[in-house]
Amino acid sequence: MRLPSRSHTRTRRAVALAAAATLVTGGATGATNGAFADPDDRAGRDRAGQDGFYTKKTPTSRGYGGAVTSVDPEASRVGVRVLRNGGNAVDAAVATAAALGVTEPYSAGVGGGGYFVYYDARSGKVRTIDGRETAPFEMPADAFVNERTDEPYRFFPELVTSGVSVGVPGTPDTWDVALDRWGTLSLGQALRPATAIARDGFLVDKTFRDQTRDNKERFDAFTSTRRLFLPGGHAPRVGSVFRNPDLARTYRLLADEGVQAFYRGPLARQIVRTVQDPPKTRSTDLPVPPGFMEIGDLKQYDALTQPPTRSDFRGYDVYGMAPSSSGGSTVGETLNILERFDIADMRRIPALHHYLEASAFAFADRGRYLGDEAFVDVPLADLLSDRFARERACRLDPDTATKKPVPAQDVDDYDGRCGGGSDSGRSERDTEGVSTTNLTVSDRWGNVVEYTLTIEQTGGSGIVVPERGFLLNNELTDFSYTEGPNHPNQIDGGKRPRSSMSPTIVLRDGKPFLALGTPGGSTIITTVSQLIFNRVDRGMSLPRAMRVPRASQGNTTAAYGEPAFIERFGAALEDYGHEFAAIEELGAATAIEFRRGGKLVAVSEPTRRGGGSALVVREQR
């Protein structure tokens, strides 16, 4: 067993009365009235649609005084009400995330993890929280090999639906740390609106029903999951009301007893039991390998506050997540490579060629160097340096696509003039799911939160903790367990698997210009890069940058392309040597742009994942 080398201590807040917090934090970030008018009040769902449920989707909103954008109307609504009631961006982000845990339970929730990026208006600084799920300390490097057969477990069905892939959840602690450091509400106050939705229910939409049906076999494999998500043996109908009273109770437990009620005590013991001995139904054929989690793993979990990555891109400062996520360094490197070219003056096809190539180079380096920094030395300074980007750009042929996979660049051997050495090119096996969810929040004081959270696969491990109303993640499948023992993202006890999550805040002259993020597994990196490329290099408006078709080149022979992308640009890019594989859609992004005079442009997806909901506090100044 090896313990992580970094440690993190902090004082958990005892009683966080918002009014008291206001006194401490002052007017710049504090809530004014300290609480919600009455967040449990259904009448609060004003301007709601059918039966009082808030279902209206608004892909773009323009206005002032703060904004919330997420994939879900109920969740965005919760966040914007927190802002209107005097909460700050951190309060609203936690409240929105908690609501997503109810309405998007297959993408995120207290059984998972994520990354939280925060711009603090008062100090002008960007801070981050790494709330990544962590491997149990006793998890061996060969945990994904079946002891009985000596054969590696298959990804489907063994690893995806298993106890062995469940990492120690980081989301509850992320919420607690965020509120404790920068919020004005207590955890209990921030959880209240989501608790009401869990108790009273939300309207099932097509996405929820489809996701339930796609997971039917594995949800049916667990007594707890079947009971919650397959009432009467079937996926809930579109338009029916879905209630989760168990989750409402779990949220109330956290509200009453604090986050330690998750990491120690009866709930923690129950999580451990569920991981070690998943509650399989008698009828299932799924193997469901058990996991290694113990109570000590939960007790020792800490969400980590840490500095962001930073890179400059055409006069903007781009802040992202440092390892354990590969998001910040890979988005940063992609943009740094693009910066070496005059993309704005190019026609569309050559510009897209450069985008695809830059991303393949950055992915090669990600595969070679990125892992949990507590266990491996990640050469972040090299990967994000302009000299390194110059070296990489030397290999980008403006007229021809490089043969994929491209090799990684040796970080000990580069001079920025193409003199350096590289290893042999190899693609990594990509097993990251394409679930997850993302939200962007800003407040009237100018604070900004970009937060991506996940349980990995859509439906996570498929295992609901009995009578607690939430799914456990299968995040440990993000380890690179097929890449050999020396890979920086190899399994290790106490280690965090490398992520692609890329919540990003872009500043101009020290002030927010753009905040953005998305789900999508490894394509998160390319979608965030492409959005910035569209907005900054191609000069698109943010709604248009969001709408146009996407492609993702993660250093594989064929890049993923949305059908509309392939239809419009595929043939011309194939002339350069690019290859494409069609994928239905890439990402479900959210973003806010900060314009002059305090104007906000809040954007969510018009159609991807059923369309999102971007709301502003006020439409008029």
Site membership for ligand GLU, residue 520 (CB under 6 A): yes
Angle at 363 between CA 424 and CA 553, to 5 degrees: 110
Tokens of 100: 């997503």
Angle at 355 between CA 353 and CA 358, to 5 degrees: 105
CB 182 within 8 A of CB 117: no
Q: Among 241, 252, 298, which residue's Cα sits nearest to residue 111?
A: 298
Nearer to ligand GLU, 92 or 524 (CB): 524
Judged by CB under 6 A, which stretch of 233-241, 274-282, 496-504, 600-608 contacts ligand GLU? 496-504
CA distance 422 to 431: 25
According to CB under 6 A, which one of 499, 530, 552, 556 is a site residue for ligand GLU?
A: 499
Site membership for ligand GLU, residue 203 (CB under 6 A): no
CA distance 142 to 149: 13
Nearer to ligand GLU, 183 or 308 (CB): 308
Tokens of 244: 């989760």
Nearer to ligand GLU, 435 or 461 (CB): 435
Query: Which amino acid is located at 215 in the chain?
Result: N
Tokens of 258: 């604090």
Considering only residues 397-456, where is the footprint of ligand GLU by CB under 6 A? 432-436, 454, 456
517 - beta bridge partners? 590
Backbone φ and ψ of 439, nearest 5°: -145, 155
Range list of β-strands (E), 221-308: 241-242, 304-306
Count Cα neighbours of 24 within 13 Å in the Cβ-side half-sphere.
Answer: 13
Burial class (CB in 10 A: 0-12, 13-18, 19+), 83: buried
CB 501 within 8 A of CB 452: yes
Q: What is the closest distance, in whole angstroms, from the C-beta atom of residue 461 to ligand GLU in the complex? A: 12
Tokens of 208: 């929820």
CB 615 within 8 A of CB 58: yes
Residues in Cβ contact with 37 at an 8 Å cutoff, skipping those fewer than 6 apart: 44, 85
Could you confirm whether 436 is annotated as catalytic? yes
According to CB under 6 A, which one of 356, 524, 545, 551 is a site residue for ligand GLU?
A: 524
Tokens of 320: 């992202």
CA distance 209 to 401: 41
Give the DSSP H or E segment for 505. Answer: strand 504-508
Nearer to ligand GLU, 109 or 188 (CB): 109
Tokens of 499: 């992520």
131 - beta bridge partners? 114
Q: How many residues bind ligand GLU (CB under 6 A)?
A: 16
Catalytic residue, from 29, 128, 436, 477: name it: 436
According to CB under 6 A, which one of 157, 519, 543, 611 is a site residue for ligand GLU?
A: 519
Backbone φ and ψ of 69, nearest 5°: -135, 130
**Three-state secondary structure call for residue 42:** helix
317 - beta bridge partners? 312, 507
CB 292 within 8 A of CB 143: yes
Q: Among 610, 459, 456, which residue's Cα sits nearest to residue 519?
A: 456
Residue where the block lists tokens 């090896």: 2
CA distance 451 to 438: 6
Site membership for ligand GLU, residue 585 (CB under 6 A): no
Q: What is the closest distance, in whole angstroms, from the C-beta atom of residue 325 to ligand GLU in the complex? A: 7
Tokens of 120: 């603090």
DSSP state of 33: S
**Three-state secondary structure call for residue 586:** coil
Q: What is the closest distance, in whole angstroms, from the C-beta atom of residue 499 to ligand GLU in the complex? A: 3
Catalytically annotated residues: 436
Contact positions toward ligand GLU, by CB under 6 A?
Answer: 432-436, 454, 456, 475, 478, 499-501, 519-521, 524
